[in-house]
């Protein structure tokens, strides 16, 4: 057997903002795919089923739990978007300096929260 170093694992790595953003990127992508697809198919099914089913959909999606789901999907979208933009900048070769990478790793979820609050402020005031 070759005398090679072992791969680091979660007990060795020191947690940092870049790791959190990476995990959030994956979780929000999966969440949007699963929950967003479910809500969209439910909406389309309610449209196709007739007015009474659509009324049931509207009453449930505008309930407090429905708004939690919609706000969560919005937060997931903006978090995934900001993380994707961060990765795009890294892919072009910029932002690899430790301090800049740390700052953008912290700013990505913060900006996503600000965008989510702003989006729902606009939606609720119209």
Residues in binding site for heme = 80
DSSP state, 63? S
The region, left, alpha or beta by phi > 0 then psi within -120 to 50, assigned to residue 63 is beta
DSSP assigned state of 35? I
Which residues are part of a known binding site? 80
């Amino acid at each position: 057997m070759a005398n090679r170093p072992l791969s680091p694992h979660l007990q060795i790595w020191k947690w940092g903002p870049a790791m959190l953003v990476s995990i959030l990127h994956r979780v929000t992508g999966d969440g949007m795919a699963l929950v967003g697809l479910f809500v969209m198919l439910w909406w389309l099914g309610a449209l196709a089923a007739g007015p009474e089913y659509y009324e049931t959909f509207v009453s449930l999606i505008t309930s407090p739990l429905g708004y939690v789901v919609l706000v969560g999907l919005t937060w997931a979208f903006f978090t995934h978007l900001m993380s994707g933009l961060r990765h795009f900048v890294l892919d072009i070769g910029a932002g690899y300096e430790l301090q800049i990478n740390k700052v953008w790793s912290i700013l990505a979820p913060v900006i996503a929260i600000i965008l989510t609050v702003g989006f729902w402020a606009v939606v609720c005031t119209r």
